[in-house]
Chain A
Amino acid sequence: MKVDEFLYHEARLLDTGQLEAWLELFTEDATYWLPLERNQKDPLETSSIIHDDRTLLGLRVKQARHPRAHARLPLARTVHQVGNIQASEEGTEVHVHSTLQLVEFRNEKQRLYGALVEHRLRRVGGGNAGSFKIAHKRVDLVNSEGELDGIAILF
């Protein structure tokens, strides 16, 4: 699988509600990060909209399936539109920059997000069967410092 195909595959899993399969794309040591501040360097001394290790990311997926997950039942419908993909090899990882436009609809509210996205991917398997795992994903929303309604979706 090529990098762009992998990113489209990831987006498709989210947009079709296959959250468990999406979670499987991440390595055990993965981090998933939506910074609060522009150019935020540090997730430990400054708050984040989301900053998860793999365990916490797993809890988000599980929460979405709970019968009393009020903000997630029903799950929002989304379209993740991925673009401007640029990939470069860095050691054992592929470092990918892309842009994301996301449309969310739930409870008669439609919301639009724009974001700069960074993936660090690791190759798994080889040849035609080869794919990637996500070791790090960072999503910088253009309005991360703005007044935001609650965020109960995954980017």
Chain B
Amino acid sequence: MAPHELERLATLVRTDRVHRSVYADPAIFDLEMERVFGRAWLVLGHESQVRAPGDYFTTRMGREPVIVIKKEDQTVGVLINRCAHRGSMVCAEGRGNTERFVCPYHGWSYDRGGVLQAVPFASGYDKGKLPAGLKAVPRVKTYRGFIFASLSPQGDDLETFLGPARASFDDFVDRAPGGELEVAGGVFKHAYNGNWKLMLENHLDGAHPAWVHASSVAVARAAPEPGKPGEEHYYDIAVRQMRQNGAPDAVWEAIGMWTTPHGHGYMGDYHDDSRLVAGLGNPVFDEYRKRLIKHVGDKEADRILRVTLWNTIIYPNCSFMSQFRQLRIIHPIAVDRSVVYTYSFRMKDAPAQMFRDTVAFANVVNGTGSWVLTDDLEVYERLQRGLSSGEVDWVYIGRGHGLDVEEPNGVRRGATGTSEIFMRAQFAAWLRYLSQ
């Protein structure tokens, strides 16, 4: 990159503010796709989505259409979904199991590893000059069952990239008795007319629920009371969760907020409703604890259940709730258009009711028709419209600036739970990716 370009980018990100163009300028979006989504490790999914050789699903890495597939050798491969001949997507979007990918245009076919197998009218080609196959994404790795890939052959290894944020994935998996998780219960796909960064910023923002979610908090407070164990209603999970968003300011201020050098962030949990967070005295959770103890023993089960995390952001494309078994992947479509896929996970050896609770939780918090999510999406769209105005330049991200606390391993902690440290960390990482 030319030095003057670098200098210009650096002027857009300051310690306590960013220039509005990082959300609204299509040229910056193109640069982000090349340098952020084209370089970073991206979360693509979970091994339970591709169990047997030939199992595949399609997704995107930034704007690149890709196929995630279990190869013959039992490893996971990621292929660019583009025929080596004329460029058609060889695989229709979706999931399934296949012996080979056959291009719909001229019938070029590829095996599960993307190696070119057959070419109709082959005599017309100089055989030595045919392409080898579908382009493989150069780096693919898993961490505790979660699938990551990077479009760049170089860069930090996955362990370094995740750094201390590995603990959030550990929490996700450790909570499952026997460590077995699977994607289940359907995939929500919701979209909004706003920049991809707005979602990642919102998910660690403890100052927004009281305002954005005021209406759902109010109606949940006025709702009939949830039932005691044995007298529960279908509506209980939704009402309990919406009420929790109305936690007092002091609760939001007191929870932990941590960031890592790669822009990841994670926050402590604000839930105090024992029906939502595996409290004592509930027969379903008692059974769950028993099963967890059976696998790891008393002491380790106790340690696992004492971890209380809410959202984790893996910058730049993933947000998850380890304790509630929800994972969202963001697909930037344009500077002002984003699509989010939301997955729920089942703990295979936990009581069946716990997965039903996960589904009810997904519907109320992350569902396309949710009381909660719809207000977030409305605000993202209003942000995008406001940020498109050229009259005002700066966006303020200075809450708690100057008060961050240094912790070991490059972790920084916000002075309070509502510190905007997570945005400062995301933009520091953003500038590093763009400047490389």
Tell me if B220 and A45 are in contact (CB < 8 A): no
Tell me the smallest distance from the CB of B242 to a CB of chain A, in Å: 8
B178-198: CB near A (< 8 Å → 1, else 0) gives 000000111111111100000
Determine the distance from Cα of A70 to Cα of B214 in the docked complex, in whole angstroms: 9
Central interface residue in A51, A59, A69, A149, by most chain B CB within 10 Å: A59
Tell me if B216 and A63 are in contact (CB < 8 A): yes
Who on chain B is nearest to A64 by CB? B215
Tell me if B189 and A55 are in contact (CB < 8 A): no
Instruction: List 15 additional A-B contacts (Cβ < 8 Å) besides A66-B215, A149-B190, A150-B378.
Output: A45-B184, A45-B185, A47-B188, A47-B359, A49-B188, A55-B223, A59-B219, A59-B235, A59-B239, A69-B375, A71-B375, A149-B193, A150-B192, A151-B368, A151-B369
Q: Report chain B residues within 8 Å CB of A62.
A: 219, 222
Central interface residue in A36, A40, A150, by most chain B CB within 10 Å: A150
Tell me the smallest distance from the CB of B213 to a CB of chain A, in Å: 9
Tell me if A149 and B191 are in contact (CB < 8 A): yes
Q: List 19 A-B contacts (CB under 8 A).
A: A36-B187, A40-B186, A45-B184, A45-B359, A53-B235, A55-B223, A55-B234, A55-B239, A56-B238, A59-B223, A60-B371, A66-B219, A69-B375, A70-B378, A70-B382, A148-B191, A148-B368, A150-B192, A150-B373
- Residues of B at the A interface (CB closer than 8 Å) are 184-193, 211-212, 214-216, 218-220, 222-224, 233-235, 238-239, 339, 344, 355-356, 359-360, 362-363, 367-369, 371, 373-375, 377-379, 381-382
Q: Report chain A residues within 8 Å CB of B371.
A: 59-60, 63
Tell me if B186 and A46 are in contact (CB < 8 A): yes
Q: Report chain B residues within 8 Å CB of A56.
A: 234-235, 238
Tell me if A59 and B220 are in contact (CB < 8 A): yes
- 8 A-B pairs closest in CB distance: A66-B215, A71-B378, A69-B215, A150-B377, A150-B374, A68-B214, A151-B369, A71-B374
Q: Report chain B residues within 8 Å CB of A51.
A: 363
Determine the distance from Cα of A47 to Cα of B357 in the docked complex, in whole angstroms: 11
Q: A47-B344, A151-B369, A152-B374 are in contact. Are A68 and B189 (CB under 8 A)?
A: no
Determine the distance from Cα of A149 to Cα of B337 in the docked complex, in whole angstroms: 10
Q: Verify if A115 is at the interface (C-beta below 8 Å from B).
A: no
Q: Verify if A135 is at the interface (C-beta below 8 Å from B).
A: no
Determine the distance from Cα of A146 to Cα of B192 in the docked complex, in whole angstroms: 13
Q: Report chain A residues within 8 Å CB of B184.
A: 45
Q: Verify if A39 is at the interface (C-beta below 8 Å from B).
A: no
Tell me the smallest distance from the CB of B366 to a CB of chain A, in Å: 8
Determine the distance from Cα of A53 to Cα of B211 in the docked complex, in whole angstroms: 27
Tell me the smallest distance from the CB of A62 to a CB of chain B, in Å: 4
Q: A47-B363, A107-B381 are in contact. Are A63 and B344 (CB under 8 A)?
A: no
Q: Report chain A residues within 8 Å CB of B375.
A: 69-71
Tell me if B377 and A149 are in contact (CB < 8 A): yes
Tell me the smallest distance from the CB of A136 to a CB of chain B, in Å: 14
Q: Report chain A residues within 8 Å CB of B362.
A: 47
Tell me if B215 and A72 are in contact (CB < 8 A): yes
Q: Verify if A19 is at the interface (C-beta below 8 Å from B).
A: no
Tell me if B189 and A45 are in contact (CB < 8 A): no
Tell me if A151 and B374 are in contact (CB < 8 A): yes
Q: Verify if A98 is at the interface (C-beta below 8 Å from B).
A: no
Tell me if A49 and B369 are in contact (CB < 8 A): yes
Determine the distance from Cα of A52 to Cα of B234 in the docked complex, in whole angstroms: 8
